[in-house]
Structure 1
Amino acid sequence: MTSDTDHDAASDSIELQSADAAEELARAELYGLLARLWIAPPDQPLADQFEHVVTQAPQAGGFLEAPWTALVGAMRATSVADAADEYDALFLGMGRSEVMLYASFYLAGFLNEQPLANLRGDLATLGLGRDESRPETEDHIAHLFEVMRYLIAGDDVAVCNLEQQRRFFRAHLQPWVGAMCDAVAAHPRARLYRAVAGLTEAFLLIETQAFDMIE
């Protein structure tokens, strides 16, 4: 995604300005990590990072502890080549993908349908547009996570605020990502990505409950 001010969702600088800023930074970083894992299989530098990352979630005993530990274990048990093979089998393949990663498929039954048009309208309102260097349409799960990261960590307070996060999440993530995660988890070839789906689903459940509390 690109913005009118040329901010990239994956590279915006983040300034901590309140007691809650560390939590917001953690949210933004997790959206960024999940976006990275859904857009492509992990490369060697990312795999190397998981060799040294802590196995516990930031809050011990929290809701994300078990899925985070599962992801760390899966990353350490999977080679880069095996991860690439798994990603290709699940999400690329010949012809139709085994598991779709696009909102339109889950919301309308087909790709490039009305949900994508609705999304494009909302992105335009936020001053965001498609990165033409990427082949995926804007409703790919990774792109939507990048938007959420931008809405959390960006420095344009007129756009990057809690209400915009809530609206975007409710409209473009909450209605379908659970079904996508269930499809990934049920696929017999899913190993690493079963763990990615588990963390994704758990994190979005927390986000859903948090947005429920502000309504």
Structure 2
Amino acid sequence: MEQQLLSERVGLYSLLRALYTYPLTQTVLDAVAQLQVAPESPLAEGLRQMQNSLRAATLDELNIEMTRLLEGPGLTPAPPYASYYLNNGQLMGPPAVAARQVYLQWQAIPEADTHLPDDHIALELGFAAHLAQRAVDGDKTALAAGRDFLRQHLLPWLSRFCDALVKAGPVPFFSGLAHLTRTAVQADLAWLDQILTETTVKTV
């Protein structure tokens, strides 16, 4: 298993977390502008939309749009919480409790000043980055834990969230972000399934 691929997973999930953390910063936008993927990559289309949008949209404009789409006040067009989609529109429900239990298990509780529910998409993506880093560091259980987290906690609601984000009619940066997020997580799960299956076969 190539160490570079493991490290790239850390970088991608860390960037995705930052892209859903308000406010966006110029450093994060610069990282998007500089990111390169192969033309045939499933990530290419979403990234292209985001990079094209950066040529016209300013940081302030994107943060204003992010407030409308994700931050509020009030109920937003695309609430970024698992509970909203899995708990009949009610926030801080069982999905948030379940996510926190996994964070506790891995000693990865979000910092107190984060002020986000545990099932916020930024925190779930950040936890995926944490598990990816643990895999880089040699934890042999982290890849399987990452696959389980994607299957059980993030993917059950991710597509509905991304659909809501696109339906809200955002500037192309955020529709591209929705596409990038969905394809990145789905592609990572497929890769994890393949790697873990190959590892199991080798040990039999």
Instruction: Give the secondary structure class of the aligned counterpart of 1:137.
Output: coil
SS of the residue aligned with 2:78? Answer: coil
Mark the runs of 5 or more structure 1 residues left unpaired by the alignment.
Answer: 1-18
1:25 aligns with 2:4: no
1:47–1:76: 8 Å Cα contact kept in structure 2?
no
Q: Within 2, Cα distance between the matches of 1:159 and 1:75?
A: 39
Question: Counterpart of 1:21 in structure 2: which amino acid?
Answer: Q
Query: Given the two structures, how large is their TM-score scaled by the length of structure 1?
Result: 0.81
**Equivalent of 1:34 in 8, 12, 16:** 16
Over the aligned positions, Cα root-mean-square deviation in angstroms equals 2.1
Residue identity opposite 1:131 in structure 2: E
| Maintained 8 Å contact 2:162/2:178 | yes
The yes-or-no answer on 1:123 pairing with 2:103 is yes
Deviation, structure 1 residue 157 = 4.5
Matched with 2:187 is 206
State the alpha-carbon separation in 1 of the partners of residues 108 and 186 from structure 2: 26
Instruction: Choose which of 92, 115, 121 in structure 2 pairs with 1:141.
Output: 121
Q: Distance in 1 between matches of 2:104 and 2:26?
A: 35
Q: Note the C-alpha offset of 1:26.
A: 1.1
| Corresponding residue for residue 4 of structure 1 | none
Identity of aligned residues (%): 24
Task: Report SS of the residue matched to 1:173.
Answer: helix
**How many pairs are equivalent?**
194
- Equivalent position SS for 2:15: helix
1:36 offset after TM fit, Å?
0.3
Report which of the two has the higher share of helix: 2
Shift of 1:140: 0.6
In 1, Cα distance between equivalents of 2:41 and 2:31: 22
Q: 1:195, 1:41 → 2: CA distance?
A: 18
Q: TM-score, normalised by structure 2?
A: 0.85
